[in-house]
Amino acid sequence: MEKEQELLPLIQDILDNPAFQDLKNYAHHGPENTVYDHSLATARMAYTLGLRLGLNTEALRSLTRVALLHDFFGYDWHEDWYRAFVRRYHGLRRFTHMHAFVHGEIAALRAKLYFDLDDKQCGSIASHMFPLSTTLPKSREAWLVTLADKVVASKEMSVTAGHGVRNAYHRLWRAARMSGGALYVRK
């Protein structure tokens, strides 16, 4: 709680921005996770890592803001228009235009339009998908954003996978009940 009170003043202007609020409309790692949720969780994780490493106030502020903006690409990559966009390319170019490869660069360009970011911060956002990014993380900040994103994403995806397994089990169990238990193996 105390940590949250110290964290929020570093990022409140970004959280209040309507363009950032719009990230609540985009599903991300599963149906119950939005880009907004994921970005805020990544900022919290980056802040915790930065505190543990003893970053000074300015470095901690920059790291937390960059982590919050790392997925500020501003579109829903699950939608048909995005699939159509990728289908315009062929072979290796189609592969390299997939969301995983391009969204770091897009997020960096877009974040610079809305917020006052320097080149180092834009680089940290652009490289956060390393090793899928087109650029390497070149600073401590960039590596910490990459790490925070991966830790948070794997937690979120394991929750989603857990829901998937539970739902499949419940569907099987209901089907077994409806079929009078015929799906159970009996001796």
Summarize as ranges the residues that interact with Fe ion (CB under 5 A). Answer: 71, 149
DSSP 76: -
**Residue with smaller CB distance to Fe ion, 29 or 60:** 29
**Residue with smaller CB distance to Fe ion, 71 or 141:** 71
**Residue with smaller CB distance to Fe ion, 100 or 176:** 100
Question: What is the rounded CA–CA span in Å between residue 6 and residue 106?
Answer: 29
Q: How far is the CB of 30 from Fe ion (least distance, A)?
A: 13
Count of CB atoms situated within 10 Å of the CB of 11: 21
Write the CB contacts of 53 (distance below 8 Å, at least 6 apart in sequence): 144
Q: How far is the CB of 76 from Fe ion (least distance, A)?
A: 14
DSSP 32: E
Q: How far is the CB of 39 from Fe ion (least distance, A)?
A: 7
**Closest Cα to residue 38, out of 51, 23, 59, 50?**
23
Q: How far is the CB of 99 from Fe ion (least distance, A)?
A: 9
**Residue with smaller CB distance to Fe ion, 141 or 149:** 149
* DSSP three-state, residue 53: coil
Question: What is the rounded CA–CA span in Å between residue 49 and residue 143?
Answer: 11
